[in-house]
Amino acid sequence: MLIAIIITTLTYAGMLGLIAYLRKEPVLRFYALAFFVGSFAYFIAFISDVDSWISILLFNQLLLTFIALVTSGLRRFFGVHPWPRRIWLYLFVNFALFIYGIYIQPSYVLRVLSVTFCTYLLLGDLFVSVWPKIAKLGEGWRLAFEILFGIHLILVTLRLTAVFDPSPMNFWMEREASASISLLLSLVIFSLWAIGIVVLDTFQVILKLNAKNSVLSDLAMKDALTGIPNRLMMDIELNQFMALAKRFNTSISFIIADIDFFKKVNDDYGHDVGDAVLIQTATIIKDVIRLTDRVYRWGGEEFLIVAPHTDLEGARILAEKIRLKYQEATFKSVGKLTISFGVAEYYPDESRELWFKRADIALYHAKSGGRNRVETWKPTGALDEEFTKIRWQERWNSGNPTIDHRHQELIGMTNTFFEMVSQATHPHEIREHFTKIITHLKIHFLEEEEVLSSMDYDCFQQHQTIHRRLLSELSTMQENIDNEKLDYRTYFVFLVGKVVIGHLLTEDTKFFPLFQEGSAI
């Protein structure tokens, strides 16, 4: 039994010592030293046939030192003074009582009580010192600590009273049942401490990692200059906002704010003053927007505001409030400045790129209309030619004449659809043209799939699935348009957002390298 306990405590000491060395953790060094002391205590008991009273004295004092070192490590872990002076007082009182119980008034009972009393003092002092810290960790941690602490106190009492024997000088050399129980309980105590230390150390590592991750997350997701969320954070949150708006059928609007003549501020006053203007701009916007709104630094002098549960008119009013407060503000070294806004409301199934484009066009009109204005993009009336007129670009060529020809035809048919809607063409003609677009897409998809299949395109199956899904949605839309359930805004969003931008300019570009590397069909 003693050899097993010695090996166990030495293993604990070695394990914790190695971890302490590798991780440079002072707390773990306390624990490693504690288990080494505990191992030495049982080694003394193992060779106690030399001088029994010396072994008794050393054994008990070393066990108390073990408890003192463990509690000191726990104090340091919880940010409390690791070794207050009263710890020396506890150990000295126990040592004095123990000497008294050996030499002056030999009494086994006195020695047992002195060790037990000092152990209770050490654990009780630890409990009182670290309890406020433990309470802050939460109910679960507090309950776990209480259970572990209570079990330890019970085991300490049982270990010390289990060896209660009328023979004061040689009970450690005896191998009776009481001694075996005592040693077994001691091993359980050591094991409990080891498990508790490992759990606490793991918890500490997790806390440190979470703290570092939190710092890194803040650095990655926040603009270093203004402290507001940056473009990366917007990319993450905007998708969530859009999904929620679509799921619950609620309005959400997008506002782009651009400081007027900001380049002149940098040129005339320097970038330090320009940075101060950007910081004050972010502060003004944050002061005006609601708790549910989010503001992001887009880059340069542009800020983006997302307003959930807000339609186009509500977003326009919000932007106007910011504009008025902004023109009333005074900027150090610069004086008065103005800011322009572009506002657009999100349409269901619209791509983010399309939504942003509409807000950007509204901002363009605010700038070209004299600045210091709020402009909104409205779906009614004549559509903006610069927005609806899609012009073929050279970089859209895949390198395959058949596919490129079909793509150019699709762009032309889409532009014609926009013109018909904006010119209030008869609904019958609009329905016919939309049907032609669907027919064109069916033919184009079949031709494209035949080409890609012959080229052994790796993502052929995935691409074919996307074609089927688009055709299915188009069929549903055709049924609606045939039943005169006309919502041209929906068709407009679908053709540009999903077919042109989402598919032709996104998915199709993935197979362009097949033809641009000189492959032949």
- Given a cut of 90, whether residue 380 has pLDDT beyond it is no
pLDDT attached to residue 2: 64
Grade residue 217 by pLDDT with cuts at 50, 70 and 90: low
Percentage with pLDDT > 90 across the chain: 22
pLDDT attached to residue 224: 85
Q: Which of 137-141, 248-252, 309-313 has the highest mean pLDDT?
A: 309-313
Distance CA 420, CA 430 (A): 7
* pLDDT tens, position by position, 93-126: 888 888 888 778 777 677 777 877 888 888 888 8
Contacts of 112 (CB under 8 A, 6+ apart): 160, 161, 163, 164
The tokens for 7 are 């090996």
Grade residue 77 by pLDDT with cuts at 50, 70 and 90: confident
Grade residue 519 by pLDDT with cuts at 50, 70 and 90: very low
Cα 81 off chain centre by: 33
Q: In what order do the strands lie in the sheet with 294-299?
A: 294-299, 302-308, 252-259, 339-345, 374-376
Q: Using an 8 Å Cβ cutoff, are 516 and 399 in contact?
A: yes
Grade residue 372 by pLDDT with cuts at 50, 70 and 90: very high
Decide which of 170 and 384 is more confident. 384
Report the pLDDT averaged over residues 203-221: 70
Q: What is the sign, positive or negative, of the torsion defined by CA atoms of 122, 123, 124, 128?
A: positive
Grade residue 168 by pLDDT with cuts at 50, 70 and 90: very low
Grade residue 8 by pLDDT with cuts at 50, 70 and 90: low
Answer yes or no: pTM beyond 0.85.
Answer: no
Distance CA 316, CA 294 (A): 15
- Identify the structural domains of the chain with CATH numbers, from first to last: 2-218 (1.20.1070), 231-378 (3.30.70.270), 394-516 (1.20.120.50)
pLDDT attached to residue 382: 42
Report the pLDDT averaged over residues 61-88: 82
- Given a cut of 70, whether residue 32 has pLDDT beyond it is yes
Distance CA 304, CA 336 (A): 22
Q: Within 13 Å, how many C-alpha atoms sit on residue 77's CB side?
A: 26
- Kindly calculate the radius of gyration of the chain based on its CA atoms and give it in whole angstroms: 39
Report the pLDDT averaged over residues 175-196: 61
Tokens 């991780």, located at residue: 23
Tokens 């349409």, located at residue: 347
Grade residue 166 by pLDDT with cuts at 50, 70 and 90: very low
